[in-house]
Structure 1
Amino acid sequence: MGRMTQHRLPGWLIGLFVATLALGTDEFVIAGLLPELAADLQITTGTAGQLITVFALTFALGAPVMAVVLDPYPRRRVILSALAVFMLANLAAAIAPTFSSLIALRAVAGLAAAVVSSTAFAVAAQGAPSDRQGRYLSVVTAGLTVALFTGVPVGAWIGALFGWRSTFVLITVVALAAMIVLAAGLPQLEGAPAAGLVERLSPLRNVRVLRLVLAVTLCGAGGLMFYSYLSALLERSQGNMQALPWVLLLVGMIGVPSAFLGGRLADQYGGRRSRLIVVGGHALALVLVGSLIALSAPFPLLLLGMATWSIFAWALNPPLQASTIEAAPEAPMTAISLNISGLYLGTASAAGLGGIIVDGPGALWIPFAAAFALTLAWISASFRTSQPAEVTA
């Protein structure tokens, strides 16, 4: 199997970007559709919110299990099959007659999304030139980032115009587009060499992988805790909510180039140095923003602090994913899936922990608590790797 040698991004990498764009939209867009969905299905909004929980839990728990099962199979076959299941689950959700059937379909979609996500990162690393794995991984990450400020708002807008079911049709169309691009251009990338179950589970016994998973979990908890309660923090700082749209727009605009920056750092400095730069910078940026909010700094200065935070927050994923593949080259898909599960575990805990802080000491403590989580992540990720800087998949 040859590696890509040209510097221009190949078409199949764009297909991976579109695939993760569909995943990110499917994950986050439901939050904006809950009231209409609940009214249509004659359930409470809280009950409808369990659709988000089911998708996230299935994704987090299913990712490592499916990675172990599917790791030996050719990557092309795995990702195209998973995309097909994901697409059909969303198409069926558009015509689901009951809440129970919709719950089941969200579980199927979450499981398929877990397979697509893990395989997409493995494919990006495996098919990249030896000096550009980080940048290829950043393209996959960028799909999730773009979903936050394009796919999710567009999906919610389509749902408001034509009903919540139309949003699932939109996600189906985006997933179909990804399938077409990948079917046309994705090279034949072999799965992991034949091995027993014990060997495929080796990342579970790899201390470096587990420390990276812990770091990812802490990064997810800290970063998403801050992002989730940003509205409360801005109200504390600015006295009203008029600043929120501008801050969210700024965060989104900086997100995509920051993801590519994380990939470039991974390529230039290797996994360890790049992850320590980004995780450490993220912690310091949170302290900076928290201090600006505590001092009721002028809005332009606060925007500058938020821009600094955004750079490090969105640059996190490529160095951490590259480091994980470095740490477990014998089973990269399994290792990546553990990282993804850690991220979702951190995300799930962020809202709960943040709520306790907001209702207790107050919203002002959120950025400092998040910075503490990132500091622990930095410590967990500070080990020296014995693997070469190049990602070997």
Structure 2
Amino acid sequence: MMPLHLPGWLVGLFVATLALGTDEFVIAGLLPELADDLQVSTGMAGQLISVFALTFAIGAPVMAVVLDPYPRRRVILAALAVFVVANVAAALAPTFGALIVLRAIAGLAAAVVSSTAFAAAAQGAPPDRQGRYLAVVTAGLTVALFTGVPVGAWVGSLLGWRSTFVLVAIVALAAIVVLALGLPRLEGAATAGLAERLRPLRSARVLRLVLAVFLCGVGGLMFYSYLSALLEQHQGGTDTLPLVLLLVGVIGVPSAFLGGRLADRYGGRRSRLMVVGGHAIALAATGALLALGAPFPLLLAGIAAWSVFAWALNPPLQASTIEAAPEAPMTAISLNISGLYLGTAAAAAIGGIIVDGPGVLWIPFAAAISLTLAWISASFRTPQPATAAA
């Protein structure tokens, strides 16, 4: 549940990331109808998802370096405006080729919005609430999975796939209104030169965190992507999948805020090690329950435990990244986001090899290994600043 007494502009950032998450995931449920309408194969239509994700992953760090000197308010409002226009145009796209181009534009705009939203939340937060403010931004993506995505798919089934893009544009437009009215004039890194803004690219601590985020994406999203196959193996069918996905989504929101509170209370290093380590243990335990054919209620408890750690990951990792690169936080955060999206792509590919090879029951164990490697990558100590002699 979202904490009370949040500033209006933070709610605006939540709505913005809700729109991004919906736009990213909802199209998966519209592919058959979209493919039929635009006269392409379903597989070809699926490239719309790949184009959005790859543009997002590649564009995030590049655009962060370019836009970091500019005020956060101006950047996020402009990017949201481009995102709205791209989605409205997608609803009117006459051909599949035009839609591909518009999805790339939307993905690039989404990359800017996401990086700027995290940077603005951290910059505008009180010193002892940075993790919780970052959690609100994360929660927008979480809520999209079990509200925006099903609602968008439902609207698309009633009114056609084009109406879903209009719905996403309306949500993003609402975010523009809230942010235009309330977002503080947070300055960018105006005094920093290009070399300083690029410093996170040369920071071993930042790059180790990006690797950790990538490995967390590989492990966590591999398990999530093949959850239906795991349930089919365990249950002999997928009738329980809607219940499990609802459970994962409902647990996700408070878990994101839990991650933020841990970051505020324990700092970046301790909080990230607790959450990443817990994630690895939960995956291994859930894998054991699946392999042993445990009763469904017990398996459900294991998946619930996994959900807590999976959704609590982002705030500690983002807070750690900001700690590691305070001179260019937007660039560093964008690298993390890029790492997550690349991890998403790798998760599907590696998971497919495992399913077709050793079998689907190996998925949670492979995922646990990936999270263990992430824990090792993230286990470095941040040097403490020297104190003056008394």
TM-score of Structure 1 vs Structure 2, range by shorter chain: over 0.9
- Between the aligned partners of 1:139 and 1:308, the Cα distance in structure 2 is 21
CA contact (8 A) 1:326 1:387 kept: no
- Between the aligned partners of 1:345 and 1:7, the Cα distance in structure 2 is 34
Q: Partner residue of 2:36?
A: 39
99 and 200 in structure 1: CA distance in 2 versus 1, 3 angstrom threshold: same
With 104-113 and 379-388 compared, the bigger mean Cα shift is at 379-388
Q: Partner residue of 1:214?
A: 211
Q: Deviations over 1:230-270 (max 9, x none)?
A: 01111111222112111111101100000000000000000
The alpha carbon displacement at 1:7 in A equals 8.0
The alpha carbon displacement at 1:354 in A equals 0.1
Q: Partner residue of 2:243?
A: 246
The alpha carbon displacement at 1:196 in A equals 2.0
- Between the aligned partners of 1:387 and 1:165, the Cα distance in structure 2 is 53
- Between the aligned partners of 2:384 and 2:66, the Cα distance in structure 1 is 25
Q: Deviations over 1:277-321 (max 9, x none)?
A: 000000000011000001110011111111100000000000000
- Between the aligned partners of 1:245 and 1:30, the Cα distance in structure 2 is 18
Q: Is 1:361–2:353 an aligned residue pair? A: no
Q: Partner residue of 1:256?
A: 253
The CA RMSD measured in Å over matched residues stands at: 1.0
Q: Is 1:139–2:136 an aligned residue pair? A: yes
Residue 239 of structure 2: SS of its match in structure 1? coil
CA contact (8 A) 2:70 2:190 kept: no
Q: Deviations over 1:40-85 (max 9, x none)?
A: 0000001111110110000000000000000000000000000000
- In the TM superposition, structure 1's runs of 4+ consecutive aligned residues that sit over 6 Å from their partners are none
Q: Partner residue of 2:388?
A: none
CA contact (8 A) 2:88 2:169 kept: yes
Q: Partner residue of 1:125?
A: 122
User: In the alignment, residue 145 of structure 1 is paired with which amino acid?
Assistant: T
CA contact (8 A) 1:11 1:185 kept: yes
CA contact (8 A) 2:65 2:197 kept: yes
Q: Structure 1: any 5+ residue segments left out of the alignment?
A: 1-5, 389-393
Correspondence 1:1-393 to 2 at 5 A: 8-386=5-383
CA contact (8 A) 2:64 2:334 kept: yes
Q: Structure 2: any 5+ residue segments left out of the alignment?
A: 386-390
With 238-247 and 15-24 compared, the bigger mean Cα shift is at 238-247
TM-score where L is the length of structure 2: 0.97
User: In the alignment, residue 59 of structure 2 is paired with which amino acid?
Assistant: G
User: In the alignment, residue 103 of structure 2 is paired with which amino acid?
Assistant: R
The alpha carbon displacement at 1:362 in A equals 0.2
- Between the aligned partners of 1:55 and 1:387, the Cα distance in structure 2 is 40
TM-score where L is the length of structure 1: 0.96
- Between the aligned partners of 1:337 and 1:253, the Cα distance in structure 2 is 27
CA contact (8 A) 1:19 1:174 kept: yes
The alpha carbon displacement at 1:386 in A equals 2.0
Q: Partner residue of 1:3?
A: none
Residue 361 of structure 1: SS of its match in structure 2? coil
